[in-house]
Amino acid sequence: MKRVMILNGPNLNMLGIREPHIYGATTLAEVNASCEDAAARLGLKLAFHQSKGVLVDLIQSARQDADAIVINPAGLSFTSVSIMDAIKTFEGPVLEVHISNIHARDEYHRHSKISFVATGVICGLGPFGYIVALHAIANMK
């Protein structure tokens, strides 16, 4: 059974409240529940986290605790060399997920540092992007 760690960056705990015109009305708890359902159907073991301060620690722990990572680094996507460097030490697939289409946003929100080290990037599909990522991981060899 593949082990998948889903990591969410800062402010994603405010989904459904913060800028619903960009991120929608779905809460992070609802995202977690839909990911749990999808993981069970796909035969994946899921660990779901949200943090602003320990993402690097969680990525490093994934070296022993996970076979794949799905990460929505949120605002840290555009600024965090530390997260990028931590991902470089992980040997499994890493899928970067964004709820909004970052390429259609303002200049500051278009260039993710994490994309340079991610296996793939999913953006603009709303919370369903997490489910797409789980399906992709389930089908990877």
Active-site amino acid positions: 23, 98
Helix (H, G, I), strand (E, B) or coil at 133: helix
Angle between helices 55-65 and 81-88 (to 10 degrees): 10
Instruction: Name residue, tokens 């035969």.
Output: 43
Sign for the CA dihedral angle at 12, 18, 21, 24 comes to positive
